[in-house]
Structure 1
Amino acid sequence: MLRRFKHPLTAMAAAGALLGTLLSWAAPGEADAAVPATIPVQIKNSSGRGEPVYIYNLGTSLTTGQQGWADANGTFHPWPAGGVPPTPAPDASIAGPAPGQTKTIRMPKFSGRIYFSYGRKLDFRLTTGGLVQPAVQNPSDPNRNILFNWSEYTLNDGGLWLNSTQVDMFSVPYSVGVQRGDGSTVNTGRLKAGGYNAVYAALRAQPGGWGNLIQTAPDGTVLRALSPGHGLETGGLPASVLSDYVNRVWQKYSTTTLTVTPFADQPNTKYYGRVSGNVMHFTNSSGAVVTSFQKPDADSIFRCHKLLDAPNDAVRGPISRTLCAGFNRSTLLTNPNQPDPSSANFYKDSVTNHYSRIIHSQTADGKAYGFAFDDVGHHESLVHDGNPRQAYLTLDPLS
């Protein structure tokens, strides 16, 4: 469901791509006319930190298609025109709750993000294509030394989809929730007790450069861990980090067939992969080749793009999503029928996405967005309801 963010000066238009699959979940048949124009979001500060918190609600209006921000009342404000170089954006910050307190804002029908930062406001800029997202893998990004994170959501006539995400980075912890139309509440994204520090400790202990994903402030305070795709970009991880596993997969499926059943509700829709001439070709039940994949590199796997591009179509995209999940979870050698449904089988190979493995191991319910298609098999940290009463975002302790 989640897509990658692009590098430093990518405009807010990327958020439309990133959340495009969220919108596709809301099929017309799911629409509920009772979904109001805005719903309340209860933000609770359980971080234990004393500095001010700043909240931002940024995205694309699903009413007008404009990019902009919402104030605390849920009123939409379009961004003014940007420039080259990017110009400062209007201050869209909302004063967040004090320690131990709760603040309620309103969420409009958006496809976007709720950012929150500690101690300092975020520095947003506007270019000709829209909003420049923070890209802290770039050492010159003005937000590099700010402690912050974000949640992603879509609210439309089909309901609310709200998640916690580590697709780009792991940083200050938070959990999300929704009160459903029947009054019940569901939550996800919370770490185990001690899980925040445990993630960093495990990354440092993992051989192969995984500790290099961790970024610190000038005073040595830990700020975040970059996702491995960004780790490749910064040189923290070697480009060959997944090569051994990829080579073994390609060798296996030169003599064995990989069966992909990409839709859980369509068990008879299957595609069959076999490597020939160093290319994995997929055929349908009639034997016709429907799509092919070059041997992917680590960047293609970690970010689920390039050689594992996943267009929003009925064939290549679903197969690519499944391959991406299988590579990140290292299940392709142990199970020729993908996706592997059991999380007990994930990350067992010594060559795997250790970043995602470690984060999943430290979440209370085992759910996370450790990579872009972690929703394959529903292992993602997402809450959804077709008729939400309110949403929740809890800033959890840094421990």
Structure 2
Amino acid sequence: MPRRRIRTGAVMLAALASALSGLIFVPAADAAVPATIPLTVTNNSGRSDPVYLYDLGTLLSTGQQGWADSGGNFHAWPGGSVPPVPAPDASIPGPANGQSVTIRIPKFSGRLYFSYGQKLDFFLATGGLVQPAVQNPSDPNHNILFNWSEYTLNDSGLWLNSTQVDMFSAPDSVAITPSGGGVKSTGALKPNGFSNFMNALRGQPGGWANLIQTDGSGNVLRALSAGHGIESGALPASVMDDYVNRVWSKYSSATLTVTPFADQPSTRYFGRVSGNAMNFTDSSGATVTSFQKPDADSIFGCYKLLDAPNDLVRGPISRTLCAGFNRSTLLTSASQPDTNAADFYQDTVTNQYARKVHAQMADGKAYAFAFDDVGNFESLVNDGNPQSASMTLGSLS
């Protein structure tokens, strides 16, 4: 069976959804994972302003949405309304620069937010928690420097990842210490990675510099992801059209072979374009699913015309297509997924945001779009018997 994926935002039933990176959920097993584990947050940002932490998510034992305090105690959100009302203050005092704070995290699927200088504003609607939407210039958190990582802790272990699916902002890396010793870590930037990324984006023609957002004093806060760039109008909606047209032309007379499961090489699907659709057949020749010609929004968001349900056919094919379009590997290889990182982002038309994010990661791994885990290029660590976890706040230099 392939690994099941859940999205943190879907679990939290956020009233204001955003395209979140996929967390991996594994059914509960017999591992003796305690009810909470310690997570140490270390502040290596070099900043003097106060830090605020938040642990928000869904309690897996009950399905309730809520937040956890520093001791790992769960608090359910009260009911929301229309218009949304302010949520209770769930902030935890964070560490000063050069110092660390240890909290306990419960069996959650959720987000670990951190902000500098100001507390974040969260609201409750009738559908649940309204989270910050950085693509909206009127969002009350727009001028706050903040970011988050995501985790799922259950009886099978801990899955912890940093994410750039929504934005590239205040950097953080994540790590797990297994009970047997050693450390698994990911998400750290190269030296000067933050400023190098922003400079590279500024130098990329075609509207990519418009993804950068600053505060009233001109200080860089973040760069929107490519998907949010389309949504906000920062990127032209036609930014991927040339590549899509070339893909459609190629597979009008050639076959695209998709082998979506690395551990099931005999499970293959075959795509051919007819008119505005790419139709996929299985080994028997039966048509299993079809995709309309995608636009940039569908590609960068891995949704809409590239929707990926949690099934065993359309979803896996869509994830593979999404990765191929974002990494621009569909023209250079008719067998997908292409898992050779040297092939990624080589076309002049590509997800330049994702390309530049990966270029600044110390281990090359990131969640720069929703299905960046195709081929295991995501910034994720996991362990079935975690002793502790950590999150390190990095420099904005």
| Fold shared, TM-score > 0.5 on shorter chain | yes
SS of structure 2 residue aligned to 1:56:
strand
Equivalence map 1:155-170=2 (5 Å): 155-170=153-168
1:201: which partner in 2? 199
- Structure 1: which amino acid aligns with 2:370? A
1:377: which partner in 2? 375
- The alpha-carbon deviation at position 180 of structure 1 amounts to 1.2
Give, in whole Å, the separation in 2 of the partners of 1:3 and 1:256.
34
SS of structure 2 residue aligned to 1:255:
coil
1:330: which partner in 2? 328
For the structure 1 residues 105 and 21, does the alpha-carbon distance in structure 2 shift closer, same or farther, using more than 3 Å as the test?
A: closer
Give, in whole Å, the separation in 2 of the partners of 1:189 and 1:282.
36
CA contact (8 A) 2:123 2:129 kept: yes
Give, in whole Å, the separation in 2 of the partners of 1:272 and 1:21.
28
Give, in whole Å, the separation in 2 of the partners of 1:27 and 1:288.
32
2:24: which partner in 1? 22
2:245: which partner in 1? 247
Give, in whole Å, the separation in 2 of the partners of 1:128 and 1:287.
47
Give, in whole Å, the separation in 2 of the partners of 1:13 and 1:269.
37
- The alpha-carbon deviation at position 13 of structure 1 amounts to 9.0
Give, in whole Å, the separation in 1 of the partners of 2:9 and 2:65.
16
Equivalent residue in structure 2 for 1:148, among 136, 146, 149 = 146
Matched, 1:112 2:114: no
Structure 2 regions of 5+ residues with no counterpart?
none
Structure 1 regions of 5+ residues with no counterpart?
none
SS of structure 2 residue aligned to 1:245:
helix
Equivalent residue in structure 1 for 2:338, among 333, 337, 340 = 340
- The alpha-carbon deviation at position 181 of structure 1 amounts to 2.5
- The alpha-carbon deviation at position 4 of structure 1 amounts to 9.2
Give, in whole Å, the separation in 2 of the partners of 1:120 and 1:32.
41
Give, in whole Å, the separation in 2 of the partners of 1:33 and 1:64.
19
Cα deviation 1:336-355 (Å, max 9, x = unaligned)? 00000111100000000000
- Structure 1: which amino acid aligns with 2:82? V
- The alpha-carbon deviation at position 182 of structure 1 amounts to 1.3
For the structure 1 residues 2 and 379, does the alpha-carbon distance in structure 2 shift closer, same or farther, using more than 3 Å as the test?
A: farther
1:284: which partner in 2? 282
- Structure 2: which amino acid aligns with 1:166? Q
1:84: which partner in 2? 82
Matched, 1:11 2:14: yes
2:122: which partner in 1? 124
For the structure 1 residues 356 and 212, does the alpha-carbon distance in structure 2 shift closer, same or farther, using more than 3 Å as the test?
A: same
For the structure 1 residues 152 and 12, does the alpha-carbon distance in structure 2 shift closer, same or farther, using more than 3 Å as the test?
A: farther
Equivalent residue in structure 2 for 1:49, among 47, 50, 75 = 47
2:186: which partner in 1? 188
Give, in whole Å, the separation in 1 of the partners of 2:251 and 2:40.
50
Structure 1 segments (4+ residues) deviating >4 Å = 1-6, 12-15, 17-21
Matched, 1:214 2:217: no
- The alpha-carbon deviation at position 18 of structure 1 amounts to 5.1
SS of structure 1 residue aligned to 2:202:
helix
- Structure 2: which amino acid aligns with 1:257? T
Give, in whole Å, the separation in 1 of the partners of 2:386 and 2:259.
32
- Structure 2: which amino acid aligns with 1:339? P
- Structure 2: which amino acid aligns with 1:79? W
- The alpha-carbon deviation at position 277 of structure 1 amounts to 2.0
- Structure 2: which amino acid aligns with 1:116? F
Cα deviation 1:7-57 (Å, max 9, x = unaligned)? xxx726959x9577521xx145xx243101000001000101001000000
1:395: which partner in 2? 393
SS of structure 2 residue aligned to 1:224:
strand
- The alpha-carbon deviation at position 197 of structure 1 amounts to 0.2
- The alpha-carbon deviation at position 201 of structure 1 amounts to 0.3
1:235: which partner in 2? 233
CA contact (8 A) 1:165 1:368 kept: yes
For the structure 1 residues 170 and 21, does the alpha-carbon distance in structure 2 shift closer, same or farther, using more than 3 Å as the test?
A: closer
CA contact (8 A) 1:293 1:307 kept: yes
SS of structure 1 residue aligned to 2:386:
coil
- Structure 1: which amino acid aligns with 2:77? W
- Structure 1: which amino acid aligns with 2:24? L
1:267: which partner in 2? 265
For the structure 1 residues 226 and 106, does the alpha-carbon distance in structure 2 shift closer, same or farther, using more than 3 Å as the test?
A: same
Give, in whole Å, the separation in 2 of the partners of 1:74 and 1:297.
43
TM-score by length of 2: 0.96
- The alpha-carbon deviation at position 233 of structure 1 amounts to 1.3
Equivalent residue in structure 1 for 2:317, among 301, 316, 319 = 319
2:307: which partner in 1? 309
User: Cα RMSD between the aligned structures?
Assistant: 1.6
